[in-house]
């Protein structure tokens, strides 16, 4: 099957096809490219590329838009099902409420888990021995301030089922107690969070049950409910779930060594820890689609320029009190109570 892709040179207006992606029904991934941002119906494209420096959202600045479009085209050809599912879920997002978007993401993720591409990826990945932790999440409280720390430093705070459940329990404290006025989300060790634990990837042979489990025990859903009180402190690798969960926070502070990446498309999947909900809220669906299809690393400075991160601050450095105020990035109205 030919890759469902449309690459449009927007510097040639007469060559622009008529595309209706507004309802999210097209099976094509639509990429537009131009030397400089041009007036275009942005809802008809999934990614917009330009060579212009510091291009405004939704455009992505790259040295060679044509070469970047070719790279993305190859990704679409190699990971067709995941690429199409990604852009369709992202297109639906603006019409759904946050919890509905989490359901749509999980449904698409489960379908892809049963696909041939992901199953092939599983056979090719190196074995990853399970390294469980007795206390994968530490919770401390100082007055109205709750600090939740991922504490699996040996595996760069990779999220396994036990860690996911412990994180849900920690966040439930904030949801149940309105006297908790601030939640700090941190990671112990060299990285904030390296994503899902590869030792558990593919261990469930029932995608339908996996979908139900994601909905019943969802750190993303908890974070969406208390987002206005959460500050995420990033450092080192923030891969997959490591940025997807953090992006729900009203404020994100990143150390200079922070490196952000969404690798799921390469596995034949889409972001499945809430990334199609949290990240577009900060940077829009076009840049989210680019970040996921590209699969490369975003630096802390690039993340700040896009609005994915609010501030760069060295680990342990005390910022000004003004920096502790919530930013306008909180995903939804804060819901207090259980």
Note whether 43 and 101 are same-domain residues: no
Q: Cα(55)–Cα(35) distance, rounded to whole angstroms? A: 11
Q: What pLDDT score does 164 carry?
A: 95
Note whether 123 and 73 are same-domain residues: no
**Quick one: which of 106, 83, 56 has its CA closest to 287?**
56
Q: What pLDDT score does 320 carry?
A: 44
Residue 133 in any domain: the answer is: yes
Q: pTM for the whole thing?
A: 0.91
Domain of residue 65: give its range.
5-78
Number of domains in the chain: 2
Note whether 69 and 156 are same-domain residues: no
Q: In this predicted model, what pLDDT tens digit does every residue of 235-262 receive, in sequence order?
A: 999 999 999 999 999 999 999 999 999 9
Asked if 250 and 228 count as a contact pair (C-beta separation under 8 A), the reply is: yes
Provide CB contacts within 8 A for 121, sequence distance 6+: 266, 267, 268
- Bridging pattern class, strands 137-142 and 145-150: antiparallel
Q: Cα(138)–Cα(140) distance, rounded to whole angstroms? A: 7
Note whether 65 and 97 are same-domain residues: no
Residue 106 in any domain: the answer is: yes
Q: What pLDDT score does 311 carry?
A: 97
Note whether 180 and 262 are same-domain residues: yes
Residue 107 in any domain: the answer is: yes
Residue 60 in any domain: the answer is: yes
Sheet order of strands, 259-261 included: 237-239, 259-261, 298-299
Domain boundary among 47, 78, 109: 78
Note whether 291 and 208 are same-domain residues: yes
Provide CB contacts within 8 A for 328, sequence distance 6+: 250
Note whether 165 and 303 are same-domain residues: yes
Note whether 17 and 162 are same-domain residues: no
Residue 98 in any domain: the answer is: yes
Domain boundary among 48, 78, 108: 78
Note whether 200 and 304 are same-domain residues: yes
**Domain CATH for 200:** 3.90.226.10
Both structure tokens of 222? 């908890």
Residue ranges in the chain modelled with pLDDT below 50 = 21-23, 320-326, 332-338
Q: What pLDDT score does 276 carry?
A: 98
Residue 130 in any domain: the answer is: yes
Residue 338 in any domain: the answer is: no
Note whether 98 and 67 are same-domain residues: no
Cis before 197? omega within 30: no
Note whether 105 and 53 are same-domain residues: no
Q: What pLDDT score does 185 carry?
A: 98
Residue 334 in any domain: the answer is: no
Q: In this predicted model, what pLDDT tens digit does every residue of 148-206 receive, in sequence order?
A: 999 999 999 999 999 999 999 999 999 999 999 999 999 999 999 999 998 887 777 78
Note whether 253 and 314 are same-domain residues: yes
Q: What pLDDT score does 1 carry?
A: 63
């Amino acid at each position: 099957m030919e890759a469902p892709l449309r690459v449009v040179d927007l510097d040639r207006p007469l060559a622009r096809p008529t595309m209706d992606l507004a309802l999210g029904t097209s099976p094509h991934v639509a990429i537009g490219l131009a030397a400089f941002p041009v007036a275009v119906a942005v809802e008809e494209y999934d990614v917009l590329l330009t060579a212009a420096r510091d291009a405004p959202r939704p455009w992505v600045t790259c040295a060679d838009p044509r070469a970047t479009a070719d790279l993305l085209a190859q990704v679409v050809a190699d990971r067709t099902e995941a690429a199409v599912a990604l852009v369709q879920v992202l297109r639906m997002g603006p019409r759904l409420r946050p919890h509905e978007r989490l359901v749509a993401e999980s449904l698409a993720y489960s379908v892809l888990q049963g696909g041939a591409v992901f199953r092939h990826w599983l056979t090719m990945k190196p074995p990853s021995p399970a390294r469980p932790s007795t206390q994968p999440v530490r919770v401390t409280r100082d007055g109205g301030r709750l600090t939740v720390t991922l504490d699996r430093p040996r595996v760069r705070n990779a999220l396994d089922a036990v860690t996911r459940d412990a994180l849900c329990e920690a966040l439930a404290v904030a949801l149940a107690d309105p006297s908790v006025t601030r939640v700090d989300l941190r990671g112990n060790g060299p990285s904030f969070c390296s994503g899902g634990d590869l030792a558990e990837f593919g261990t469930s042979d029932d995608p339908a049950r996996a979908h139900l489990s994601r909905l019943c025990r969802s750190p993303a859903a908890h974070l969406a409910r208390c987002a206005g009180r959460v500050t995420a402190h990033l450092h080192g690798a923030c891969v997959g779930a490591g940025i997807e969960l953090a992006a729900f926070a009203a404020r994100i502070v990143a150390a200079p060594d922070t490196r952000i990446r969404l690798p799921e498309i390469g596995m034949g999947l889409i972001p499945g820890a809430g990334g199609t909900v949290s990240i577009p809220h900060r940077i829009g669906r076009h840049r989210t689609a680019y970040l996921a299809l590209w699969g490369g690393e975003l630096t802390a400075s690039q993340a700040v320029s896009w609005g994915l991160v609010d501030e760069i601050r060295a680990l342990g450095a005390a910022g000004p009190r003004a920096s502790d105020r919530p930013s306008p990035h909180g995903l939804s109205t804060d819901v207090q109570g259980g």
